[in-house]
Chain A
Amino acid sequence: MSIDKDKIKHISKLARISIDSKKSDSLAKDLTSIFKFIEQLNELNTDKVEPLSSILNTPLRAREDKINDGKIRDKILENSPKKNDEFFVVPKVIE
């Protein structure tokens, strides 16, 4: 798989990262060599192999659906780069 500038543009859009067009070439080159490396996996026939998504044998625990904290609005807002008294502030979304 060769990664070109158009592909970088597409992926960076999906990832919500703007990429400087000056950097796009070297990034395409790096990603092409990384994909060449990871495509070694195609040497293996894995048709009959179950995918492994978690190494734990047990299913994830569910907890009781009960509120166990609250009244931490100020703590949650504490690190926000832009806020007013009670809310996160973002650029205008709806005209």
Chain B
Amino acid sequence: MSEIIKKNLSEIIDLIKKKEIKSEELSNLYIDKVNKSKKLNSYITTCFEHTIQKSKEFDKKPNLNSLLPGVPLAVKDLFCTNGFKTTAGSKMLENFIPQYESTVTENLWKEGAILLGKLNCDEYAMGSSNETSYFGNVINPIAKDTVPGGSSGGSASALAADLTPATIGTDTGGSIRQPASFTGTVGLKPTYGLCSRWGIVAFASSLDQAGPMTKSVKDCSIMLEAMAGFDKKDSTSIEKKKENYSKNLKTDIKGLKIGIPKEYRVDNMPKEIDELWNKGKSILKDLGADIIDISLPHTKYALPTYYIVAPAEASSNLARYDGVKYGYRSSKGNDLIEMYENTRSEGFGDEVKRRILIGTYVLSSGYYDAYYLKAQKVRQLIKKDFDENFGKVDAILTPSTPSSAFKIGEKTNDPISMYLNDIFTVPVNLAGLPAISVPAGLDKKGYPLGLQLIGKTLDEQNILNVAYAFEKNCNFKNEIKNWWL
């Protein structure tokens, strides 16, 4: 297997710019390994003819000034790709071929990237282990019986297994950061509104945000720069100037104030995670940062709030799947209503149905105030916790997840234990803040663990810098042995 595909995105870009490798050669290296890695089940769809054709076009007239010159990339199968199947991991969209392109993927292609394929994910991004996908479990390349996390599980698995040099996911409650942590990779959820949601299959619209998943912090800054930007087609897109995250990346974090929230030390958390968190603190302290203890008192209410807000928005968003305009349609039923009911019963999987029912209930007459309105009020308190502390600190350091990757099937029978995976990531989505998960070490099983840095609104550059400095001094190395080849 070629050594080139093990390299980081930034190194691969350098090779292309120095004309040491052509886009077509590079694409063929990835295609070769993807073809040999079907066991991981990280791809739902491949489009290699398109990839090679685009690579050839690039090689004929290379634009080396773009951010991602001739780089083949696979993306989560939640981004609509014009002419290529987009399933959202659901039977409902098994044969859906979008007639338009999502803004975020369009931005990548404009910067020279080329589509390699579409990556597996939890159905409609609802899950924390990729086990809700209609297209089957994804395997974490760190060990053959473990989940890659979710919902962007296929993205994390493909990235860690060198089946794409970088990728993108979406994060509604931790769906980028948790799989990044489980696979020893970097994942960033941007500020709500930084990356356009247009053309992304919707889950919970006030929380959904697309972001990069990469092998290094530098790669992450390049991808974010390519993806982000104002889009008039998304009514919640933030109007601001594009930033040069990769150019402005620096390791000097002297004098920065880093908050350590005491509420993130939860019951039954493995000792290793606590130790890793301490290691993170001491690395940042040695680099000249001030470590400050803070309190985010409403942290424990974030997950209950999320499990009202997200299902409520999902039940409304997923009402569009009626078997008429696109997607699956049941052949059973005597009238229109029965056709709807059978279509949705047969087309959606169990977790999606569960969440639609929760959402329908909390929005239904007589219960709206008790659940949905209550959750919106608590969401305000959670946001206030962050607002008050960001007067005192520049960033917040926490563990990314309460455990390392778990075994396939371990949590599928208990929804609450599955939901608890997102305990450290969900508050950030509720408050709309940016956060990055960076690999920080291995547990005693040799499985990776990540730390999370949370930033102020639109302060991506700052958390990227802290993560960059941390990465340079942490010496984390992912040990993936290609056992599936």
Contacts and interface: CB of A to CB of B under 8 A. Distances in A.
B305 interface: yes
A19 B371 CA distance: 23
B344 interface: yes
A81 B323 contact: yes
Interface stretch (B121-129, B325-333, B388-396): B325-333
Nearest to B97: A79
Given A41-B375, A52-B380, A81-B329, A88 B361 contact: no
Contact of B344 (A17, A34, A49, A54): A17
Which of B334, B377, B431 is packed against the most chain A CB atoms within 10 Å?
Answer: B377
Contacts of A3: 361
A84 interface: no
A63 B231 CA distance: 12
Given A11-B360, A11-B364, A41 B305 contact: yes
Interface string A11-44: 1101111111000000100110111011111101
Contacts of A20: 345
A91 B353 CA distance: 24
A15 B301 CA distance: 27
Contacts of A79: 95-97, 99, 325-327
B431 A41 contact: no
A17 B353 contact: yes
Contacts of B338: 18
B380 A49 contact: yes
B254 interface: no
Given A11-B364, A31-B357, A44-B381, A80 B326 contact: yes
A60 interface: yes
Interface stretch (B24-32, B232-240, B280-288, B400-408): B232-240
Interface residues on A, range: 35 or more
Interface residues of B, number: 66
Contacts of A7: 361
B356 A17 contact: yes
Dominant SS among interface residues on chain A: loop
Given A15-B344, A56-B193, A78 B99 contact: yes
B1 interface: no
A16 B316 CA distance: 12
Contacts of A80: 324-326
Contacts of A66: none
A44 B380 CA distance: 12
Nearest to B381: A49
Given A49-B377, A56-B238, A63 B232 contact: yes
A71 interface: no
A55 B148 CA distance: 30
A17 B377 contact: no
B336 to A, nearest CB: 5
A6 interface: no
Interface string A58-71: 00110100000000
A82 B327 CA distance: 10
Which of A18, A27, A33, A79 is packed against the most chain B CB atoms within 10 Å?
Answer: A18
A51 B376 contact: yes
Interface in B417-448: 419, 431-432
Nearest to B100: A75
A40 B339 contact: no
Interface in B89-104: 95-97, 99
B378 interface: yes
B371 A38 contact: yes
A83 to B, nearest CB: 9
Contact of A81 (B193, B327, B341): B327
A42 to B, nearest CB: 8
Nearest to A39: B304
A49 B381 CA distance: 8
A53 B376 contact: yes
A52 B377 contact: yes
Contacts of A12: 357
B192 interface: yes
B304 A40 contact: yes
A15 B364 CA distance: 10
Contacts of B329: 81-82
Interface of B: 95-97, 99, 192-193, 206, 232, 235-236, 238, 298, 300-301, 303-305, 307-308, 315, 319, 322-329, 333-342, 344-345, 348, 353-354, 356-358, 360-361, 364, 371, 373-381, 383, 415-416, 419, 431-432
Given A14-B360, A19-B353, 19 more contacts: A16-B319, A17-B353, A27-B353, A27-B357, A30-B415, A31-B358, A34-B358, A40-B304, A46-B381, A49-B380, A51-B373, A51-B377, A56-B236, A63-B232, A72-B99, A76-B325, A81-B327, A91-B333, A91-B336
Interface of A: 3, 7-8, 11-12, 14-20, 27, 30-31, 33-35, 37-42, 44, 46, 49-56, 60-61, 63, 72, 75-76, 78-82, 88, 90-93
